[in-house]
Structure 1
Amino acid sequence: MIFLEYQINIIYFKSVMKVLVTEDFLIEESALNELKKALEKAGNTEIFAIGHTDNNNEITEINVVSWGNEFMAPAIINNLKQGDVVIHNHPSGNLTPSPPDINLASYLGNQGIGFYIINNDVSEVRFVTKSWKGEERNPIDTDKIKSILGPDGPIAKNLQGYEYRESQVEMAIEVADAFNNSKISIIEAGTGTGKTMAYLIPSIMWAINNKEKILISTNTINLQEQLLKKDIPLLKEVLDIQFNAVLVKGRNNYLCLRKAKAEESDLTIGVDENLDELMTLIQWSKITDDGSLSDLNFIPREEIWDRLKCESDTCLRVKCSFYKNCFLLKARRKASQADLLIVNHHLLFADLSLRANLNNFADLAILPPYSHIIIDEAHHIEDVSTKYFGLKTSKKGLIRILNRLWFQLRKKEAKGVLLLVSKKLNKIKDETVIPVQKTIDSLITQKNELVNLTAELFDEIAKFTDNIIKNEQNELKLRITDKIEESIDWENTVRLKSKEFINSAGIFITNLSRFHKKLDSINNKNSKIFDSNLIEIAAISKRVEEYVNSIENFMFENNTNEVKWIELKKYKKGNSVSLNTAPLKIDTILKEYLFNQFDTIIMTSATLTVNNNFDYFKDRTGISTVEKREIIARLFPSPFDFKSQVIIGIPLDIPPPTQDLFPFHIEPIITEILKISKGKAFILFTSYMLLNLLYSQIITKPELSGITMLKQGDENRHNLLKKFKKDINSVLFGTDSFWEGVDVSGEALEAVIIVRLPFRVPTEPIYEARREEIEKSGRDSFIEYTVPQAVIKFKQGFGRLIRNNTDRGSIIILDKRIQEKYYGNIFLNSLPECRTIIGTKDAVLDELRKFYYK
C-alpha cells in the first residue's frame, strides 16, 4: 500500500474566526485554541485529538480523546466518521510518522479520516493521510431487484430449475431498504427462501453504486463454499455488474517467508528431528502462489506450523525484506480491492475484539475497512462473541511458548531460539559475547524451572478441581464462584502456588528482556545476524507476560461481568488443564463494538425466532437497547409445502430420556424406523455416550444388514457426508455438528430422528452463570434462556430434512417431553405446520409405513 505524505513547514495564523492553514485545511480559531491548550497541558507527552469537520472540510471542533506518554499514546478510533481528522503531536519536533502512526493512518485513511502530525507549538504539520467526505449515496433501485429475481429475469433464464419465490424478492427489498436507510435488520428466512441471493444482489448493487465494501460473515465453511463456488459465480455470469468477492482468512493461515528463510538458514546450524516436514514446507513456500494452509495437500503438525506461520507480534511489516512478496499482504491487497469480503464469524469477532483493545492499533487492519455487515447464520452471534471476548489460558499453551526458547527431550538434540543464538555466538570471535553466552545458560535453567512451576501450578489446579467435583468423568468443568474463592483450600493451595509462579515468572521476563537488549547490541555490531532471533525472543517474552497476566487476573481479580471456570480433561498420558474467562453478558459489548459502529447491519438465519417472535434473539444480543437506530425484524416463511412433504411422529409409550431405561426402549423403535425408510436417515444425538451405545446395538441388527451405518468420529465430517450422499441407503449417527450446516437434498435423506430435545448441559459454567443472572432479576431462566436455546437447535435439526420442493420425509421425536411438558408447545409452535402423529409407538410406525409406501 502506498501512503501519500505532505510536508507543510509553516502555518500562518490570523485573528479571524477561520484560520487558513493551507488551501486544503481550514480550522476555526476556537478549535485551534482548544488544541493549543491541550498541547500546553500535555507538556512533553503525546495526545490524540479528533477534529470534526463541516461540509467544507473545515475543523470546527476539537476533542482530545487520549493522553499517552512521550513515545506512544493509545489511539481512540471509535466514534470517528468520514471527514474527521485525527491530530497527533510529536513532542520531539520530529514529524516523521512512526510505524504505529502509519498503520493507524492507513486504516483511517481508507475510511476518509485524516491523520495529521503536529509539533507542540503547532508551527509545523505533516499530513500522513488527508480526510475526505464521500459523495451523496446512491440508493439501491428496488425495481431492478424485482427484475433480476423475477420469473423472466436473468437468473431465471440462466439457472435451470429456477423457481420464482415472492418471499425471496421481499427479503431482497428489505435488505435494500436497510442499505438505503442505514438500518439494523433482523431477518429469519425459512429454508428454501433463497436468502443468500436475497442479500447478495442488493449488497453487490450497493457496493458498486457507492464504492463501499460489504462484509459477509458466515459460521460454517459449507455456507462460505456455497457463496464462493455457487451463488457468486452465478451472479457474476448473469448480472450486468462487474464486481469482486474475496474470501478473507486469518493471519495464522499464512506462511511467513521471513520465518521460512530463517528456518532454512538455521537448519544448517544443527540437526532438526522435524527436518523432512520443515523442508517440505520451505520448498512449498517457494512455489505456492497462495501461501495458505488451504493450498497444502497435507495438514502440517501444529508445532511445525507454529514455527512458520504469520503472527502479529513477529511481523516486521514495511521493514521486512519479504514485504513485497508477503503472502498475507498479497491476500490483504486483494481484499482491499474487493467489493464483497467473505469471512467467518470467528474472524469477524477477532477483528471486533482487536478493535476493542485500543492499544493494539498496529493490527487494526486485520480486515479492510468496511461499514456494512451481513451476518448469516446469525443465531451463533452470542456464542462466537462470548468466545472472542473471553480468554483461555492453558498449561499446554504456556509450556509450548516457553519451549520455543529452548527444549530438549531426553537424549535428543535440544532445539529452540536460545540454542540457535548460542551457536551463532560461538562463531563470533569476541570476548564480549562470553557473558551473553553465560546468560543463555542461566535463562535455560530459569526457563526449565518456570516450566516445572507451570506444571506444578496446573497440577494443583487439577487436584483442586478433582476434589471439588468428585466424579469419574474424563472431562470436568468447575465454575469459580465466590464461595470457592473464599474457601481456605483455594487460598492455601491454588492461590499460594499462583503467587510463587507469578513472582518467578516476573523475574524470568525481566531477565529475558535484559538479555534481549544485550543481544541487540551485539547484533548491531555483527551484520544483524540475530534479527530473526530478536524478533522471536521479543514475541515469546510478550506472550509469556500475557499468560502470566491472565493467570494473575484469574486468581486475584473479581469482575462482576465475568464468568471464570477451570476445565480439566483426563488422558492416559496426563491431564489437560485450562483457566477460562468469558463475559457474563455480551449485550453491552455487541452494542458498543458492533451495533453502534456500522452503517448497515443485517443479521439473518433460518432460525432466529422462538415461538414465532424475535424476543429471545433481541434480548441476548442487546439489540433492543440500541438507541437512535431504526431496527427492523422480519420473518419470511419457507415456501415449501410442509403439510404434504413432512410427517412428524412422536411416540408417547416410552420412558423420558432422563430415565436409565430410555436407550433400551428406543433402540427397537429406531431399528424399525430404519427398516421402513430403508436407511436414508440422520439420527441426531446430544451426547456421544448415547450415540455410541445405540450405534453398537443397532449395527448388529441382521434386519438392517443392507443399510450402511456411519458414525461421527470414525471419519472427518466431510468424508462422512460424502459417503452418506453417495450411498442412498445409509444412516448417519451424529451429534452437535450434524444438527446444522449440512445440506443433503433428494432421496439420500428421507428421515431425521431426534433422540432427545437438544437442551445444553445445565452445569456448563457460562450457561449456569447466565441462568443465575436471570433468576436474580426475578425472571424464569428456564423459559427465557434454556428453552429458547434448545428450540433454536431443534429448528436447525428439523431443517436438515427438506431442502427443496420435491423432498419428502419424516421427523421422529423420541423425547416425549415435547408433548407432556408445559414447554413442549414452544418447540412445536416454532416449526412450520406439518402433519403430526402423536400416540403409541405402534401408531406412529403404522403411519410411517403408509407415508413411505404410498
Structure 2
Amino acid sequence: MIDQTSRHFTPEVIATIRNHIEQNNENEVALCGFIDDKGVVTSVEVVGYGNELATPYNLHRSLQGDVFIHNHPPFDPDPHKNLKPSLNDLDIAQRVQNLGMGFFIIDNLCELVNIILPVHPQQKLSLEATCEIFQPNGALSQYMPSFENRPEQVELISAIVRTINQKSILFAEAGTGTGKSLSYLIPVVLWSLSNAKKVIISTHTIHLQDQIASKDLPVVLHITEKLTGKKAEYAVLTGRSNYLCKNKLRDLLADRERISSLFDDPEEAKAKTALIEALDVWTRTSESGTRRDFHQEIPNEIWEEIASDGETCQGKSCPFAGNCFYQRAYLKAEKAQIIIANHSLILSSLDPETYISFLPRFDAVVFDEAHHLEDVALKSQSVELSCRGLLQKLGRLYHEDKKSSPRGLLAHLFKKYKPPYVEAQQDFEKQKEQLLTCHRELTEGIHSLIHNGLTYYRKLENSSFQIRITEAVEKSEFFHFLNIRLEELARKVSSYIYYWNELKNLITNSSSDTTIPPLFASLDKRIQSLNDIATVYRILFDQERKPTEVGWIEVSSNQRYPNITLCHSPLEVGEFLSRGIFLRKHFTICLSATLSVNGEFTYFQESIGLKNGVFTRPIETISLPSPFDYRRQAQIHLLETPREFKVDEFFLSCIKEYILMNEGGTLVLFTSHQRLREAYTKLKEELAHEGIHPMAQGETRKNIILTTMRKNPRTAVFATSSFWEGIDIRGYNLRCVIIEKLPFDSPSDAIPAAKCELLEANGKNAFLNYSLPRALLRMKQGIGRLIRSKNDRGIVLILDGRTVFKRYATIFQKSLPPARIIIGSYEKLRREAESFIVANFSAWLQTHKASQDSSLPENPAQENTP
C-alpha cells in the first residue's frame, strides 16, 4: 500500500531521513524506526549506507526498532513503480516479519511510502485489570489460597505497568516478602502475549533462577492462560559450556584409553570411566543435558572433554544434529515468549563493539538481583591469565615424572599413532621431540614466573592480594621481568602451535585410525587456548592503558597452589549497557532488595553508566518498605566502642557469647578469609564442647552448610563472600547474624582503587560517591539474611564502632531496616540480647533441648511475644 509519508512519520523524522539521504548523495539508506501509540514513526536510527542499487545493513541493530525502513532512489519516473519491492526487499521483509517488525520503502523526497508490512502499535496493559489479579478475590488468591494482598506489592505492580506502557526504565527496590517475582512476571507475560514479544527474565543466582522456573512461572502461566485464552511458552537458557555434547561423549567412550590419560591414578581413572558410562545412560533420558542436572559432580577434567562449544561443533553434519542439547535449548528459547537466563549469559553474549547479541532476539528484559549488574558487566569485558591455570592446561596435554610413564592427551596420541613406514617414524620422532621440548620450556617458564613473583612480593604465607599496575609498579624490577618473560612465553606458544600443526599434518596424512580426529579436536582447542598469553601480553604491555581501564597482578602465596594471575578490566560500563540493553529494549526493569542508599538511587544509576543529564531515556525509581514488622521481629545491636579489626580476646568473646546465648542458629559474616579462619580455629572446639555445631566456609561445601543449617538449629556458621547474600534460612534455625566489620572494599583491590582515583580526578568525592554506597549495599544484604518471613525473629550484632562514631554513621543507620536499634557498650548489648532471647525463644529452646529434636516446623509459632 502506497501512502503519504505525513500519515506515518512525524515531520521531524521526515526531515531527518531526508537529511541522511542527502548526506549519502541520494543513494540508499537503511534505518530502523520506532513508533508511538498510534503507529506513527517518531524516531529513526541509521543501520546502513549504500549506493544507488542496494545498501548493506546491520539486521541485529535494526531489530531493536519497530519497523525497517529504506529508500529507493528514482530509477523510474513513475513513483509507484519506483517503490516496488525487489526480490531482495521481499527476502528482508520475510525475515523481519518473522520477528514482529514492519517494513517500509520510501522515495528520496520522503513524500511517499510503500507499506509492505504494516507495523502495529503496542497493546498497552490495563493497570486496573492487572492490579485486579492481585486483589483479595482476584485470580491469584483463587489459585493460591495462601496468597496475601500487600499494599507494597500493588505499588510495585503499578510502577511496572507504567514502565511497560511508557517504554521506559524502572529501578525498583523491594525487600523479601514484597512478592517481587509475581509482581513483574504477571504483567510481563500479559504484555508478551498481547504484543507477540519476547522478554528475558535475568537473575544473578541459580537459586532464584530455579525458583522462578519451577515455582513462580508455572503459577503465572496458568493464571494468564485462564485470563487470556493464550498459553505462553518459556525456556531456561544457560551458557553453552554448561551443555553436554553427545558427539564428544560418544568419541570419548570410543577411546577408553583417552579417559585414563587424564588421571594419574589407575583406580581414579577406572572410577571416572564408570562416571562417563553413567553420563551416557543419563543422556538418553535427560531433558536439559546440563552439567548441574546430573546427579553427581562431574570433574573439570571430564567436563572439558564433553562440554558443548562452538569451535568443535560440527553443526548440521553432526550425527546428533537433531538431538543436540544446546541446539534444542536454543531453539526452544527462540520459540518461547519468556526466557529465563542469568546476567552473565546476557552480558557476555553482547559484542563489545557492535552490541549484537548471539542470544535469540528479545524485546525487553527484567533484571532481578540487579545490584550485581555493574560487577557482571565489568567481568564480561575483563581478561585474565592464571599461571596456575596454564600449568593445569599444559599438564592435561602432557606431563611426565620418574615414577610413571607420561600422561595426558598428547601422551595418549603418541601411544596411539603407529607410523606406517620408516621415514614417517623418523619424521614423527623429530617433530614429537620439537613439540615436547617447547612444552617443557613453556612449563619451566611459567614456574619461573610464579617463583619470581612470590619472591619479589614477600607476604604472609597462604595470603592472597592484588597489586594494581600503576606507573610506580611499571618501573619495578618484577614488572620488567614480567614483560620479558611474558613476551618469551608468547613466542613459545607460537612455536608450540606451529610444531603441533606440523605433527598433526604428518599424522593426518599417514594414519587411518578413526579415533584420532576427535582427539585432534580436543587437542586443538586446548593448545589454541594457550594463546591467552599473547592476548594478555598485548593488553598489558603493548598498548597504552586508558584512564578508564585498570590492570593488576593477583598473587597467591598458598603453599600448595601458589599462583600469579594477570588481569585487565574496564572501569566503566555505561556505554556497553546503554547501547547493548537500555537504549535498545522496549523496556528494562531492574529490581533488588538493595539498590538505594539513603533513599537515593544515584549510586546504582551511575554505577551502570546511566548518568543524569547524559542518559535521556525516562527512568522511574521506587523504593518500597518491607512488609515485615521489623520493630517486633528484630533488634540491631551496634557496638559503640572503637576497636582494632583483629581476632583478639574481646572479639572472640563477643562472638562466642552471642552464639551460646542463642544456642547456635548463628551466622557470623566476615570480610576477610584470614580472620574467618583464625576465629573459627580458636572457637570451634569450645563451641563444640557446648553442644554447638560449628562450620566454616572453605572447609565444607556451601550446599552442605545450608542443608545443615536448615536441619540443625544449633549450628554456628563462620562465612564470608557469597554468604552475605542469596541464602534463605527461614524459621528459628537462623536467630542471629553477627557482622564483624563494615564490608568496605580492601584498599588493595584494583578495580575499586582505580575507580576511586578516576572519580577524584573528575572532581568527585570517591568515598561518598563510591566506597560508602558499596559498603552500605553489601551491609543491607548481610542484614537481610535474618528476617525472611513474618514468623522470623532475631538479632543482628555489628561489631564495628564506625557505625556509631564516624561522620557517615547517620547515613549508615538510615540504611538499616526499621528494627529496634540499640547502641551501647558490649555489656549493654548483651543484656538486651538476653532479654530478647528470653521473650522470643526461651520456650522453644527449652522444648527443643528437652526433646533433642533437630527438626522444626516450617512456620514455628511465636512463643511469649513481648
TM-score (norm 2): 0.80
Question: What letter matches 2:317 in structure 1?
Answer: K
Partner of 2:279: 284
Matching residue within 518, 527, 545 for 2:531: 545
C-alpha distance in 2 between matches for 1:131 and 1:316: 38
Partner of 1:449: 438
1:463 to 1:137, Cα distance in 2 relative to 1, 3 A: same
Question: What letter matches 2:796 in structure 1?
Answer: I
Question: What letter matches 1:370 in structure 2?
Answer: F
Matching residue within 324, 327, 347 for 2:325: 327
1:276 to 1:733, Cα distance in 2 relative to 1, 3 A: closer
Partner of 1:267: 256
Q: Which moved more, 1:407-416 or 1:623-632?
A: 407-416
Partner of 1:558: 544
Instruction: Say whether residues 1:356 and 2:340 are aligned partners.
Output: no
Partner of 1:150: 135
C-alpha distance in 1 between matches for 2:487 and 2:27: 42
Instruction: Say whether residues 1:591 and 2:575 are aligned partners.
Output: no
Report how far residue 440 of structure 1 moved.
7.1
Matching residue within 43, 64, 68 for 1:84: 68
Report how far residue 732 of structure 1 moved.
2.3
Contact kept, 8 Å, 1:519 with 1:534, in 2: the verdict is no
Question: What letter matches 1:342 in structure 2?
Answer: I
C-alpha distance in 2 between matches for 1:139 and 1:587: 29
Contact kept, 8 Å, 1:395 with 1:455, in 2: the verdict is no
Matching residue within 568, 575, 600 for 2:587: 600
C-alpha distance in 2 between matches for 1:320 and 1:83: 37
C-alpha distance in 2 between matches for 1:519 and 1:349: 41
Partner of 1:70: none
Report how far residue 702 of structure 1 moved.
7.3
1:662-701 superposed Cα distances (whole Å, 9 cap, x missing partner) = 6311332333323433332222221233223333444444
Q: Which moved more, 1:139-148 or 1:612-621?
A: 139-148
C-alpha distance in 1 between matches for 2:276 and 2:490: 37
Report how far residue 737 of structure 1 moved.
1.6
Contact kept, 8 Å, 1:682 with 1:732, in 2: the verdict is yes
Matching residue within 417, 420, 423 for 2:413: 420
Partner of 1:6: none
Contact kept, 8 Å, 1:686 with 1:735, in 2: the verdict is yes
C-alpha distance in 2 between matches for 1:765 and 1:643: 40
- Give secondary structure in 1 for the equivalent of 2:311: helix
Contact kept, 8 Å, 1:755 with 1:815, in 2: the verdict is yes
Q: How does 1:176-255 map to 2 (within 5 A)?
A: 176-239=161-224, 240=226, 242-255=231-244
1:782 to 1:448, Cα distance in 2 relative to 1, 3 A: farther
Q: How does 1:450-529 map to 2 (within 5 A)?
A: 450-457=439-446, 459-460=448-449, 462-464=451-453, 466-468=455-457, 470-487=459-476, 490-491=479-480, 493-513=481-501
Question: What letter matches 1:463 in structure 2?
Answer: N
Partner of 1:570: 557
Contact kept, 8 Å, 1:146 with 1:169, in 2: the verdict is yes
Partner of 1:3: none
- Give secondary structure in 1 for the equivalent of 2:289: coil
Report how far residue 764 of structure 1 moved.
0.8
- Give secondary structure in 1 for the equivalent of 2:564: strand
1:35 to 1:519, Cα distance in 2 relative to 1, 3 A: farther
Report how far residue 388 of structure 1 moved.
1.3
Instruction: Say whether residues 1:809 and 2:794 are aligned partners.
Output: yes
Contact kept, 8 Å, 1:699 with 1:709, in 2: the verdict is yes
Partner of 1:391: 383
1:338 to 1:645, Cα distance in 2 relative to 1, 3 A: same
1:281-339 superposed Cα distances (whole Å, 9 cap, x missing partner) = 24523434232212322112211211111112111222322211111112222222322
Question: What letter matches 1:681 in structure 2?
Answer: T
Question: What letter matches 2:289 in structure 1?
Answer: G
C-alpha distance in 1 between matches for 2:496 and 2:535: 14
C-alpha distance in 2 between matches for 1:414 and 1:140: 63
Matching residue within 620, 625, 636 for 2:624: 636
Partner of 1:621: 608
Contact kept, 8 Å, 1:271 with 1:413, in 2: the verdict is no
Matching residue within 736, 756, 775 for 2:741: 756
C-alpha distance in 2 between matches for 1:324 and 1:740: 41
C-alpha distance in 2 between matches for 1:298 and 1:447: 36
Partner of 1:714: 699
1:60-117 superposed Cα distances (whole Å, 9 cap, x missing partner) = 99864799xxxxx997844653543899xxxxxxxxxxxxxxxx999988645899xx
Contact kept, 8 Å, 2:635 with 2:796, in 1: the verdict is yes
Contact kept, 8 Å, 2:462 with 2:559, in 1: the verdict is no
C-alpha distance in 1 between matches for 2:259 and 2:786: 58
1:249 to 1:450, Cα distance in 2 relative to 1, 3 A: same
Q: How does 1:761-800 map to 2 (within 5 A)?
A: 761-800=746-785
Gaps of 5+ in 2: 1-16, 72-91, 104-114, 840-866
Backbone CA RMSD of aligned residues: 3.9
1:681-731 superposed Cα distances (whole Å, 9 cap, x missing partner) = 222221233223333444444797243333323322222122212222332
Contact kept, 8 Å, 2:637 with 2:822, in 1: the verdict is yes
Partner of 2:859: none
Contact kept, 8 Å, 1:422 with 1:437, in 2: the verdict is no
Report how far residue 484 of structure 1 moved.
2.0
C-alpha distance in 2 between matches for 1:795 and 1:732: 19
Matching residue within 794, 818, 827 for 1:842: 827
Partner of 2:75: none
Question: What letter matches 1:508 in structure 2?
Answer: Y
Question: What letter matches 1:828 in structure 2?
Answer: Q
Contact kept, 8 Å, 1:112 with 1:133, in 2: the verdict is no
1:684 to 1:502, Cα distance in 2 relative to 1, 3 A: closer
1:787-843 superposed Cα distances (whole Å, 9 cap, x missing partner) = 111100110111112222232222221111100111122211112333222122222
C-alpha distance in 2 between matches for 1:310 and 1:168: 41
1:264 to 1:826, Cα distance in 2 relative to 1, 3 A: same
Report how far residue 133 of structure 1 moved.
6.5
C-alpha distance in 2 between matches for 1:86 and 1:321: 42
Contact kept, 8 Å, 1:674 with 1:704, in 2: the verdict is no
C-alpha distance in 1 between matches for 2:505 and 2:117: 43
Report how far residue 635 of structure 1 moved.
0.9
Partner of 1:258: 247
Gaps of 5+ in 1: 1-27, 40-48, 68-72, 88-103, 116-129
C-alpha distance in 1 between matches for 2:300 and 2:260: 20
Partner of 1:24: none
- Give secondary structure in 2 for the equivalent of 1:838: strand
1:243-269 superposed Cα distances (whole Å, 9 cap, x missing partner) = 233221211112212212222233378
- Give secondary structure in 2 for the equivalent of 1:191: coil
Contact kept, 8 Å, 1:79 with 1:597, in 2: the verdict is no
1:542 to 1:161, Cα distance in 2 relative to 1, 3 A: same
**What is the percent sequence identity of the aligned residues?**
27
Contact kept, 8 Å, 2:170 with 2:619, in 1: the verdict is yes
Contact kept, 8 Å, 2:465 with 2:748, in 1: the verdict is no
1:227 to 1:840, Cα distance in 2 relative to 1, 3 A: same
1:423-452 superposed Cα distances (whole Å, 9 cap, x missing partner) = 4563xx5x6x95597257525533542453
Matching residue within 289, 308, 311 for 1:310: 308
Question: What letter matches 1:378 in structure 2?
Answer: A
Partner of 2:810: 825
Contact kept, 8 Å, 1:175 with 1:199, in 2: the verdict is yes
Partner of 1:666: 651
- Give secondary structure in 2 for the equivalent of 1:314: coil
- Give secondary structure in 2 for the equivalent of 1:787: helix
